[in-house]
Amino acid sequence: CCPLGWEMLESSCYYFSKIPLSWHEARDWCNGHESHLVILMRDEEWDFVTRMAGGTFFWVGLTDEKSGRWEWVNQTPYVMNRRRWRPGQPDSWTHHGLGPGDEDCAHLHYEGQLNDLHCSTRLRYICQRHSQRT
Q: Considering the entire predicted model, what is its pTM?
A: 0.90
Amino acid 83: pLDDT: 82
Amino acid 87: pLDDT: 87
**In Å, how far from its chain's centre is CA 39?**
7
Domains of the chain: total: 1
Amino acid 132: pLDDT: 82
How confident is the chain (134 residues) per 10-residue block, as mean pLDDT? 95 97 98 97 94 96 90 90 84 62 86 91 97 75
In a domain, 1, yes or no: no
Question: In CATH, what number is assigned to the domain containing residue 126?
Answer: 3.10.100.10
Structural domain of 108? 7-130
86 vs 108: CA distance, rounded Å: 10
Residue 38 makes CB contacts below 8 A (sequence gap 6+) with 14, 45, 49, 60, 61, 126, 127, 128
| Residue 45, CA atoms < 13 Å, CB-side half-sphere | 17
In a domain, 82, yes or no: yes
In a domain, 2, yes or no: no
